[in-house]
Amino acid sequence: MKRRAAMKSLGVALGGLVALPAWANNWTPESVGSAHFSAAADEALLAEIVETFIPETNTPGAKSLKVQQFVQRMIQDCYDDKAKATFQQGLTQTDTLAQQTYSKTFVQCDGKQRIELLKKMSNDASSKAFIGLVKNLTIRGYTNSEYYLVNIAKFTLVPGFYHGCVPVKQ
């Protein structure tokens, strides 16, 4: 009787493995859906924050690779309500601090001003959790991007190669 259950389980597992690649290949940004917050200004602000963490140089920056969408999706789908509230408050604090310090929004500030604001926020107890959250998700999103894995990390799906025509050394 246990043999029948084992064969049944093996058949289901094999069927799942055969169907999984076809199912995953149909994923597109449209089919997965988008992660949106209350305002488009929040997404633009987040895009500039992640671009400040990983700016564009001779390689694409975080904004070019749309890391802000990764951060939004992770916050929306994987974090609890406390982290979501911290994230939303942090976005508001970032713009408020920029208005108080430079009399303009964070998006309108230049690169040096943005770095100074984020350093100031990372030293402040009330916004330190927000900076840490966004910085960690930015790094994770950037290092998991297709560009990074293909061009910088030189990721190969199967490590090593088989060379059948090479003589074996004694």
Provide the residue ranges of all domains of the chain, joining segments of one domain with +.
Answer: 38-152
Q: How much is the pLDDT for 16?
A: 72
| 4 sits in which H/E element | helix 2-25
pTM over the 0.85 mark: no
Residues 97 and 20: their CA atoms lie apart, in Å, by 47
Average pLDDT score over the chain: 86
Q: Which sign does the torsion angle of CA 113, 140, 44, 83 carry?
A: negative
Q: How many Cβ atoms from other residues are within 10 Å of residue 138's Cβ?
A: 22
* Least-confidence region, from 44-48, 83-87, 151-155, 157-161: 157-161
103 token code pair: 């009399």
Token duo for residue 144 = 């998991």
Higher pLDDT, 126 or 29: 126
Per-residue pLDDT, 7 = 84
Angle value at C-alpha 154, between 153 and 156, nearest 5 degrees: 120
pLDDT digits over 92-145, tens only?
999 999 999 999 999 999 999 999 999 999 999 889 999 999 999 999 999 999
Average pLDDT (5-29) is 73
More confident residue, 126 or 170: 126
pLDDT bin (cut points 50, 70, 90) of residue 84 is very high
Look up tokens 């350093």; give the residue: 119
Average pLDDT over residues 20-49: 71
The per-residue pLDDT for 137 is 96
Among 126, 99, 104, 111, CA closest to 49: 111
